[in-house]
């Protein structure tokens, strides 16, 4: 899909790194005038902006205006607030896997902890960590909190602190020792992840 060039976007929009806001540089028929704020909140909580009939994520537009190129991968938000597009809040380029690590627990998660679910047959908490579409079983635990801490240790091994949204403060899981089989599977998947380079592509209908 053909995207707007830096030159064209720079003609139309101005980005304020301190506030994260985009503003129109010129007045156009049927839209807000020059100097007005550009973009609006979508149903997923991201700011999007329409440019010549196509919708773009505002944080990707910010990257374009700062670096003069579209991001190859997906910038993410440091504080997890998707509409906060201040430059200091936009993380380093993240792979799809790293963005998964950055997410909070899904709303239908009954354990209240990310990566932890109840295994009814054995009446224990089971822990999984996902990488590159592969769910790695970390273990089964009677203690709910220990299960959450073990997920945190695995998440740090997969994504590092920068792209891990943990259940507990990071230092609380520093003492957790992951089984060798789990470490081997994580290392294998990380090797696979780093063995290819993601291509830029539309995400959810946006660019």
Task: Give 100-137 pLDDT, tens digit per residue.
Answer: 555 555 455 668 898 999 999 999 999 999 887 788 99
pLDDT of residue 162: 61
Q: For residue 131, what are the contacts with CB-CB under 8 A and spacing of at least 6?
A: 97, 100, 158, 186, 189, 190, 193
Better-scored residue on pLDDT, 27 or 93: 27
With a cut of 50, say whether residue 59 has pLDDT above it: yes
The pLDDT score that the predictor gives to residue 199 is 37
85, 149, 83: which is closest to 115 by C-alpha?
149
CA distance 79 to 81: 5
Angstrom distance (rounded) from CA 40 to CA 42: 6
Decide: 126 and 150 in contact? Cβ < 8 Å. Answer: no
Q: Which residue has the higher pLDDT, 189 or 185?
A: 185
Contact call for residues 49 and 55 (beta carbons, < 8 A): yes
Cβ partners under 8 Å of residue 183, min gap 6: 157
- The answer to which of 14-28, 64-78, 188-202 has the lowest mean pLDDT is 188-202
Instruction: Spell out the domains of the chain, with CATH numbers in brackets.
Output: 6-89 (3.90.75), 96-194 (3.30.730.10)
Q: What is the pLDDT of residues 169-182, one digit of tens each?
A: 888 999 999 999 99
| Tokens, residue 32 | 């807000």
- Give the per-residue pLDDT at 28: 73
Mean pLDDT for 11-37 is: 88
* CA-derived radius of gyration, the chain: 20
Instruction: Report the pLDDT averaged over residues 38-48.
Output: 92
Task: Using DSSP bridges, classify how beta strands 134-141 and 54-57 pair: parallel, antiparallel or unpaired.
Answer: unpaired
Question: pTM, whole model, 2 decimals?
Answer: 0.52
User: Which of 129 and 164 is assigned the larger pLDDT?
Assistant: 129
Better-predicted residue by pLDDT, 132 or 14: 14
Q: Look up residue 114 and give its two tokens.
A: 């990310």
Please report the pLDDT score of residue 44 as a whole number: 86
Of 163 and 202, the structure prediction assigns the larger pLDDT to 163
Q: For residues 79 and 107, is the Cβ–Cβ distance under 8 A?
A: no
Mark 97-136 as b/e (b = at least 16 C-beta within 10 Å).
bbbbbbeebeeeeebebbbbeeeeeeebbbbebebeeeeb
Specify the higher pLDDT residue, 141 or 30.
141
Average pLDDT over the chain reads: 82
């Amino acid at each position: 899909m053909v995207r707007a060039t830096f030159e064209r976007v720079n003609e139309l929009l101005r980005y304020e790194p301190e506030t994260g806001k985009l503003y129109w540089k010129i007045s156009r028929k049927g839209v807000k005038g020059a100097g007005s704020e550009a973009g609006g909140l979508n149903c997923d909580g991201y700011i999007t902006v329409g440019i010549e009939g196509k919708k773009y994520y505002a944080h990707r537009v910010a990257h374009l205006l700062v670096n003069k190129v579209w991001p190859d991968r997906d910038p993410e938000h440091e504080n997890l607030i998707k509409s906060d597009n201040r430059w200091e809040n936009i993380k380093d380029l993240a792979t799809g896997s790293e963005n998964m690590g950055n997410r909070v627990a899904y709303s239908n998660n009954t354990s209240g902890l990310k990566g932890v679910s109840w295994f009814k047959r054995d009446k224990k908490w089971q822990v999984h960590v996902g990488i590159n579409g592969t769910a790695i079983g970390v273990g089964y635990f009677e203690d709910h909190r220990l299960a959450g801490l073990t997920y945190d240790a695995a998440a740090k091994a997969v994504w590092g602190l920068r792209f891990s949204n943990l259940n507990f403060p990071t230092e609380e899981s520093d003492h957790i020792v992951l089984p060798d089989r789990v470490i081997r599977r994580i290392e294998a998947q990380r090797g696979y992840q780093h063995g290819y380079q993601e291509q830029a592509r539309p995400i959810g209908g946006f660019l």
